[in-house]
């Protein structure tokens, strides 16, 4: 069967509306069209035709020109003025053969003319032409809608691919950079750590030798005596162990930073591994320590840790650490923006605070709340915060991908959830929910 004939592709909703005040014409046209496979509805004047069209839209209207109550020209004008009916093809039927009437009808939006008295084959041929055009228009509309859907899906797919590429590139570049720095730091740190105890012993030996020398030499020369007083050996002997102790504490601190860098930049395997989320949080905060200190009008940012007892979580540690980094960086930005809007005294009265709360949920999930006391956000911004390329920062201050990447890591890579709660002037809280046992690893 072919699909270009109404008999083979008839739908109950598709019909031709015939409008004529002559019952004989209505009967004849109905018979011709029904034999050709069309469903037909009839109207005896323009007013009833418009009422029928308002209830159901025909695929084609055969419209008589000369009718009582409302003639064909006025009926056509009303149909074309209505956005819902303006695209329905109208074929005028008339015994008026002068060119002016035909031009008037065509100018009102009619697509064709049928001259009375009817020739059945002509009527059917003209109706078939416009029926096929209707079908072609339907197909084109469907193809257009399908193409628009495909374009939208493709665009979304490309955007997701862009986020993944940016995420992978950032993780790779940052991981290599931080791992390289940690590796380069390792040798000099090890040298200092190993040599400070030896230096302590050597200095202790020298101080003992000096004390022994002083006890043996009872009468030093005037020059030696003056030199010893100028050097203030007693102060040196007392202060030098303190200096070495401070150096030892500093090397321990550098070791902690180096360990935090290695923890933060650890390269993820192809499968998820058990990871201590608290270790990830702490290492990320240590790297951001410089941003937590007082800056200009902004006082130091206090970090409050309310850690619960958590099991190891199966995840990609490097990716989870990147999520922590993005959320902490956004919290610090929000606090800095809030402080810029306040005076120095107001800043002192409104302490900057980031609160981290972790807990076990339903024995299957863990929750991490990261809350700041910053400026908060409007509902419009909150609803778009995870959209790609959406950012409230100025030009050159961010790509807008940070939170979109965080959302993708948590939701797609770890089958978790990330939610945000915020009110203007009342701060913002991000809530991460992660399964303890990773899936699809």
Q: With contact defined as beta carbons under 8 Å apart, do 108 and 76 qualify?
A: yes
Q: What pLDDT digit, counting tens, does each position of 119-154 carry? A: 888 888 888 888 888 778 778 777 877 787 777 777
Helix (H, G, I), strand (E, B) or coil at 35: helix
Give, to the nearest 10 degrees, the angle between helix 99-107 and helix 72-81: 20
Mean pLDDT of 175-202: 72
Q: What pLDDT digit, counting tens, does each position of 361-404 carry? A: 888 999 999 999 988 888 888 888 887 655 655 444 444 457 88
- List the structure tokens of 139: 């197909």
pLDDT at 301: 92
Element (H, E) at 16: strand 16-19
Say what percent of the chain tops pLDDT 90: 15
State yes or no: pLDDT of 283 exceeds 60.
yes
433: left (phi over 0), alpha (psi -120 to 50) or beta: beta
60 against 134, higher pLDDT: 60
52 CA to centre of own chain? 48
Q: At 62, phi and psi to the nearest 5? A: -95, 115
80: number of CA atoms within 13 Å, CB side?
15
CA distance 201 to 192: 14
- List the structure tokens of 91: 């074929």
Model-wide pTM > 0.85: no
**Mean pLDDT of all residues belonging to the chain:** 80
Mean pLDDT of 216-226: 77
Q: At 94, phi and psi to the nearest 5? A: -155, 150
Q: With contact defined as beta carbons under 8 Å apart, do 67 and 26 qualify?
A: no
Q: What pLDDT digit, counting tens, does each position of 395-438 carry? A: 444 444 578 888 888 998 899 999 999 988 889 999 999 999 87
Q: What pLDDT digit, counting tens, does each position of 83-95 carry? A: 888 888 888 888 7
State yes or no: pLDDT of 348 exceeds 70.
no
Residue 307's pLDDT band (cuts 50, 70, 90): very high
Buried b (16+ CB within 10 A) or exposed e, 355-388: bbbbeeeeeebbbbbbbbbbbbbeeeebeebbeb
**Lowest model confidence (mean pLDDT) among 110-119, 270-279, 341-350:** 341-350
Helix (H, G, I), strand (E, B) or coil at 392: coil
41: left (phi over 0), alpha (psi -120 to 50) or beta: beta
């Amino acid at each position: 069967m072919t699909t270009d004939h109404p008999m083979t592709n008839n739908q109950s909703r598709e019909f031709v509306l015939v409008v004529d005040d002559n019952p004989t014409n209505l009967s004849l046209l109905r018979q011709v069209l029904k034999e050709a496979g069309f469903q037909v509805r009839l109207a005896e004047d323009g007013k009833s035709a418009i009422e029928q069209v308002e209830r159901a839209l025909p695929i084609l209207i055969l419209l008589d020109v000369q009718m009582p109550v409302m003639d064909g020209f006025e009926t056509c004008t009303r149909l074309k003025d209505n956005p819902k009916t303006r695209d329905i093809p109208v074929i005028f039927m008339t015994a008026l053969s002068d060119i002016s009437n035909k031009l008037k009808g065509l100018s009102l939006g009619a697509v064709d003319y049928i001259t009375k008295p009817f020739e059945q084959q002509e009527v059917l041929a003209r109706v078939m032409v416009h029926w096929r055009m209707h079908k072609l228009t339907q197909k084109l509309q469907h193809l257009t809608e399908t193409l628009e859907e495909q374009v939208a899906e493709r665009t979304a797919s490309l955007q997701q691919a862009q986020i993944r590429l940016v995420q992978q590139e950032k993780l790779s570049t940052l991981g290599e950079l931080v791992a390289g720095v940690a590796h380069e730091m390792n040798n000099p740190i090890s040298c200092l750590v190993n040599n400070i105890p030896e230096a302590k012993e050597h200095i202790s030996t020298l101080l003992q030798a000096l004390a022994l020398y002083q006890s043996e030499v009872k009468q030093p020369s005037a020059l030696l005596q003056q030199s010893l007083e100028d050097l203030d050996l007693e102060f040196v002997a007392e202060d030098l162990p303190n200096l070495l102790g401070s150096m030892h504490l500093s090397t321990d601190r550098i070791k902690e930073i180096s360990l935090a860098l290695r923890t933060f930049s650890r390269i993820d395997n192809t499968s998820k591994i058990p990871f201590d989320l608290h270790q990830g949080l702490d290492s990320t905060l240590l790297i951001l320590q410089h941003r937590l200190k007082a800056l200009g009008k902004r006082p130091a940012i206090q970090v409050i840790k309310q850690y619960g007892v958590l099991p190891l979580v199966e995840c990609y540690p490097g990716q989870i650490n990147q999520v922590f980094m993005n959320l902490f960086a956004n919290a610090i930005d929000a606090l800095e923006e809030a402080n810029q809007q306040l005076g120095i005294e107001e800043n002192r009265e409104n302490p900057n605070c980031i609160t981290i709360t972790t807990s076990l949920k339903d024995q299957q999930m863990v929750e991490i709340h990261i809350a700041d006391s910053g400026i908060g956000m409007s509902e419009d911004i909150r609803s778009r915060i995870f959209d790609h390329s959406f950012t409230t920062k100025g030009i050159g201050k961010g790509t807008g991908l940070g939170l979109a990447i965080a959302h993708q890591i948590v939701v797609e890579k770890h089958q978790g959830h990330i939610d945000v709660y915020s009110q203007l002037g009342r701060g913002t809280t991000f809530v991460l929910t992660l399964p303890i046992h990773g899936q699809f690893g």
